[in-house]
Amino acid sequence: MDEIEQHKARIYAALDQVSKIITVSEHRDQDEERVRQRDADVIEELEAALAEERADLTGERGAVIDLQNRLEAALKQAEIARDAANEARAALEKAAQQAAPAPDSALPAALEATITRLNARIENQDVQFRRLKSATAQLRESIGILRTRNADMLADPAVIDQAMLAELEALKSSRAADVAEMDTILEELKPLVEGQINA
């Protein structure tokens, strides 16, 4: 009887062991199935991302090709414009050479005298303008010093401002006279230049 009980115990132990192995095997199969499914999902996501990247790359390639075509067209247009500019420059230089007076053609004596006289007046105006500019700078410096000293003594700033305005008006009048003188010179030159062009 003890022997039978021992055999029963062994059989039950063996059955229990087999049951555990089957259970572990089932769990292992379920785990493997989950892993396979997870891997399949990851592969599917990667394939979708790869397809999207390929589509984006195809679009970018198209954009690059379009930009290259536009750049080549712009370069061709630039070359055409450069060639046209060179042709225009050559034509302008040729026209200027044809329009230039012959080197041995002499200006009339009256015209030369007028030009000499006008050049002298222009130089004189330039000298006067430089003097006026120097005087203006000195005047500004003097007024600045005067303003500082009077401010220290609390003098009336309105008096200084009136003096500055009077001096400014004098400078404007002097400048207007210079402009009128230059206008006179230009008016004298105008018929001479027009006559030379028409000659």
CA distance 176 to 179: 5
Higher pLDDT among residues 199 and 115, named by residue: 115
| CB 174, CB 136: distance < 8 Å | no
User: Residue 65 and residue 53: Cα distance in Å, rounded?
Assistant: 18
3-state percent helix, strand, coil for the chain, nearest multiple of 5: 90, 0, 10
Which letter does DSSP use for residue 196 in this model?
H
Q: Is there a contact between 118 and 186 (Cβ–Cβ < 8 Å)?
A: no
pTM of the model: 0.32
Mean pLDDT of 107-132: 68
- At 73-117, the pLDDT tens digits run 666 676 676 667 667 666 666 765 665 554 445 556 766 777 677
Q: By the 8 A CB rule, do 181 and 125 touch?
A: yes
Beta-carbon contacts of 115 under 8 Å, excluding residues fewer than 6 positions away, are 107, 192
pLDDT at 104: 45
Task: Please give the mean pLDDT across all residues of the chain.
Answer: 70
pLDDT at 15: 78
138-181 confidence digits (pLDDT tens): 766 766 676 676 666 655 566 666 666 666 666 666 666 666 66
Q: Provide the pLDDT for residue 146.
A: 66
Evaluate whether 146 touches 160 at the Cβ level (below 8 Å). Answer: yes
* C-alpha to C-alpha distance for 54 and 101, rounded to whole angstroms: 72
18: helix, strand or coil: helix
> Residue 132 pLDDT more than 80?
no
Query: Does 52 score more than 80 pLDDT?
Result: yes
Encoding tokens for residue 49? 């991302």
pLDDT over threshold 60, residue 190: yes
